[in-house]
Structure 1
C-alpha cells in the first residue's frame, strides 16, 4: 500500500498536474489529495468519456513548464471504460493525444465485489488490450512508483497514445478530505437571462463564414464537431488554428474545455451540432461550472443527423439556451438570425463560458470534400501554431 502523496508528487515531477474523472472508492485518496492542493487541477466530469476528452484537450495545448511537459491523468472505475471507448478509440488514438489512465479493478477475479462488477471485472484487461492500450498494475510499493511512471511516459512520448495503470483494491492508504467543494468552480450570482433573436435561418455555410470572420488565427482556436460541420469548415478555409474531429461524437465540448482551462492565453471556440450536444448533455453542467471566459460554445442546430442521411433529431423540442443558462453559462443566446453570432463574440465583460444556439437550414454542398490533411497532421499543425504563445 502506498500513500496518495507518494504517487501524486512523483507524477508531478514528471509533469502531471491535470486530473479529470469520475469518483470510485478506490480513487478516493487521490481525488481528496488533489482537491486540497491548489497547484494541481482536478475537474469532476459528468462521465468518463468526457474526462478522457478533457485531458485530450489539455494535451492538445500542453506547454512546457518548470518541470517539463505538462501532462494529464483521466481516472475512472473500470465500469466507466464503456463510456470512454469512443474518445479512447477515435480521439486519443486518431489524433495521437496521449494521457495516463488510472482504471480501478472492481470485480477483479478472486476478489469479492458487488454483482454489477461480475462481468466487467474479468474483462477489464481484455478491454484495454482490445483498444491497444498497454497496461500494468498500479504500484503498491513506494519504490515501484517512479519506474511505473517512467514506463508510462516513455510509451506516451514514443507513440502519442494512452497508457493505463489498473488499480487493485487497497492499493492506496486513505486520505481524509478536509476541503469541501470543488476548486475552480464558478458560482454565478444568478442564471444568465436568455437573449433570443428572431429572423431568417441561414445555411451552415453562411454560419461558418461568420464564425471564421470572428476567429482570428493569431488568438483563437476553433474545434469543430464531427460530420459535416468540420468538413464544411475545412472546405471554406482550412486554417492552421482549426481542428476537425473525425469521430468521438459529442466530445468537442469537453475537449475544448480542457484546452481553454490549460491555455488561458487563447480564445477557444467549440463548434457543436444538435445531435452531438444531445449525446453528451451532461457536459453542459461541467462547462457551466468550470468554463472560463475564454471559452465559447456555438451550437449549429439543423434538427438532423445530416451526415448520416438526414434523420431527424429531437432538438426542436429542446431549449438548449435555457439549459445552458440553468447550468451556469455566463451568456446564453438563441435564435434563427445570424446576428446571434456577432452578439456572441462582441459581448463584453462576460465572466464565464458563453453559449449560442443558432437554428440553421439543412442542406450541404454536393461536392463537399473530406479533409485531405490527416488528423495527426491537423493536430501537429495546430500545436505548432499555438506552441509559441
Structure 2
C-alpha cells in the first residue's frame, strides 16, 4: 500500500501525531513522516518504545486526540508495562494506534534475533488486548477503510489497535537521505579499537557495529572468541559488558556501543558508574542516527554524553572527532582506572557489501564463554 494513502486514512480520522522508534520495515512510513513533518511537535523520535507510549499518553491527555506510535515488533517488550498499566481500558483507557513492523514473520527469512519474536508477535498483541490488522502489499483501500472504521469505535472506548506491517506492506516513492559532517567511518573506528584491544574482551552493540566487528576479525584472520556480538536486545550491550567486567576483573572489557542504543537504556550508565569496574571501557560511536534501520536521527548530537558519563561516576571521559584524535585517546588508556567513557563522532554510512556474521548466535556464545573460562 502506498504510504500517502495510509497516512491520509489516519489523518482523515484526526490521527495526526506520530512518535516512536524507527524500523527498517517501516522505512516508507518513517521517510514520509520525516519528509512531511521532520522532527517537530507532530513527529518525535523517542529513545525507546516505552517512552513513545508515555509521550502518546500525554498527548492524548492534553488534546483529547488519538496518537500514533510506530515501532519494530522487537520493541513490544518495551511497551508492555505502559500498555498494560497505563493505556489499558481497565486503568486509564487511553487510546493509541500502533504501526508495527513484523520482523521475523513466520515463513519469511530473517536474522536469528527476529525469529522467536516474529513467531509470538500476534499472540502478544492478543494477550495485550490490542485488536490488529495485517498490512501487506496487496491490502486494498477498502480493506483499510473497513478496518479503520472498526478501529475508530474501539479507540473511542479507550482501547488500542495495531497495524502489523509485513515486509513490503508499505511503499513510498520518495527517498530520504541522511548524512552528517563527520569524516570517520564507524568500521575504521572499530578497527582502531581492535588494533589496541589485542586479547581484551569486546561486547558490541546490535546492528552494523557487530557486523563490522565480525568482518574486521575475518579480514585480520583473528578469532571471534574475544567478542560477544549483541545481534538483538538493542540498548543492552553495556549491561552485558558490565556483567562480564564484574566477573572477570583481571581482564579489560570494551563495550562498543551506538548512540541510539545508548539512549534507549541510558539508565545503565548510572549503574556502571556506581559499580565502578576498573576494567571497563565504554565507547559510544555517535553518528546521531538509527543507521541500521535507515538513518533516522537520534537526539545524541543535542546532548553532552561526556557530562552524562561524568555525572554517572565514570572515572575518566574522552571524546574524538576523527581517527587521529581517537588514536591519541587510545594511547592514554593503559594503566587508567575505569570505568572509562569515550565518545567518537562517526559518519553515517557503511560499505555496500557489508556482510553478516556467518557464525550462529549459539556458536558465538559458546566460543566466547570458552574464552572467558580461560581468563583469570
Q: TM-score, normalised by structure 2?
A: 0.50
The higher-RCO structure (CA 8 Å, 6+ apart) is 1
Question: Which has a greater percent of helix?
Answer: 2
TM-score (norm 1): 0.48
